[in-house]
Amino acid sequence: MKEAYLAIDFGGGSGRVIAGCLSEGELVLDTIYRFPNRQVRMGGHVYWDFLSLFEDMKTGIRMAVEKGYTLKSIGIDTWGVDFGLIDKQGNLLGNPVCYRDSRTEGMPEEFFSKVDVKAHYAESGTQVMAINTLFQLYAMKKEDNAQLKVADKLLFMPDLFSYYLTGVANNEYSIASTSELLDAKARTWNFKLIRELGLPEHLFGEVVMPGTSRGFLKPEIKEQIGIDYEVEVIAVVSHDTASAASVVPLSSEEKVAFLSSGTWSLLGVMSDEPILTEEARLAGFTNEGGTDGKICFLQNITGLWILQKLMQEWKEEGKDVAYSTLLPAAEVAETDALIDVDDTTFQCPVSMAEAITNYCITHQQTPPSTQGEFVKCVLRSLALRYKTGMEALNRLLPEPVTKLYVIGGGSQNKYLNRLTEEAIGIPVVEGPVEATAIGNIRQQMK
């Protein structure tokens, strides 16, 4: 029987259950189960399929048990900003709505017509994005949402998964920091802001730091996964980005930055304190909670989502979507088309191919036509965006960055790494691919 720490890592496109064991002082990972994470469109909204994801999580835990692992503890991390509301009895009030839902359209503009954007940034330190929890709640409040009226607690996705495993409801700091509702310096809820928004204060629970216990698996869960011993669920650095960033080696000789590459691209550095200056706000940087009280000072960039969505569409059309075909085709494709990856038209279009084509036509460029051309256009545009992000970062830091670690699933895209290195002009180090899970497991070990 091998003792294992289980990392459950939910990304915007897929989830995985990974067992981590110590072997001669080294962390050895075993990917037990991978499953897709889909966005479901229904009744004019876009949802996550929480119930399926919960089932998939349990399946993965059961598979780890069946493989002979004794579970030491479990840690859950997910993407940021999204949440579920539960009532006093612990019932989930509706499926969590996906941040790509259009309910937040125009909300930042409306909010900042009443609130001073500079003063707000000086407290929250968050890059204003319509997807943020603040604007999701603002939209719900505005439509007089019934769930909001009866809700007892707001639980971010990792809080929610943990809650249904253990029955303990709390809010982990790193994930709460993606909400735009925290005081970045105090590292806890900004209740002044919460009151101004007219949100019930009781929704916001205890903010617990990474490393805190989230309780033990409920008897019914133990029965379902086939164990009879106690397993503790630990609040890890439960925001996937912050968990990934925690494994980047810091060095005294190099000025190191990270690019967490997946559905999103998060480009930044670790900082001891939040950077809440006007320059940081104007440059679009965010201060999110990290490990050991550190801050992930980063820019949130639309990442491989554009390519993922294209590939999904091509798959539905019966086309080849293997990376081993698409990337070589992109390298030899001839197109100069470039897009602004952060343009809102790419956030949730019904057809990504059409959105790119329309963007190029509107911007007087010849649109890509073959699959290779589309991929080249997207990857070159990403690399260019990393260049501007890096320039902005260097303007804000006392010393320029000398090395970039590309971590997460996207770090396997060698063509993109090469384009990035060419664009930013400093060495790019690839991996680890499973940075988030490694960060998750290390936190449990601590």
As measured in angstroms, the least distance from the Cβ of 348 to ligand LFR is 13
Which candidate, 86, 78, 92, places its Cα nearest to that of 37?
A: 78
- Give SS3 for 47: strand
Q: Which of 30, 116, 240, 320 is catalytic?
A: 240
Active site residue 240: yes
- Smallest Cα–Cα separation from 303: which of 395, 200, 379? 379
Least distance in angstroms from the C-beta of 300 to ligand LFR: 5
Angle at Cα 301 formed by Cα 352 and Cα 409, nearest 5°? 80
CB of 40 to ligand LFR, least distance (A): 17
Q: How far is the CB of 88 from ligand LFR (least distance, A)?
A: 28
- In 3D space, the residue among 194, 208, 229 whose CA is nearest the CA of residue 162 turns out to be 208
Strand 39-42 vs strand 171-172: parallel, antiparallel, or unpaired? unpaired
Q: How far is the CB of 298 from ligand LFR (least distance, A)?
A: 8
Measure the CA–CA gap between 410 and 386, rounded to whole angstroms: 14
**Type of residue found at 336:** D
Strand 39-42, strand 45-48: pairing: antiparallel
Binding site for ligand LFR (CB under 6 A): 11-12, 79-81, 99, 131, 178, 239-241, 262-264, 266, 300
CB nearer to ligand LFR: pick between 178 and 291:
178
266 vs 326, beta carbon nearer ligand LFR: 266
Q: Residue 56 or 82: which CB sits closer to ligand LFR?
A: 82
Q: Round to whole Å and give the CA distance between 258 and 316.
A: 34
Q: What share of the chain is helix, strand, coil (3-state, %, to 5)?
A: 40, 25, 35
Residue 127 or 335 with smaller CB distance to ligand LFR: 127
State the residue for tokens 């085709």: 329
Residue 50 or 264: the one with the smaller Cβ distance to ligand LFR is 264
Q: Catalytic site residues?
A: 240
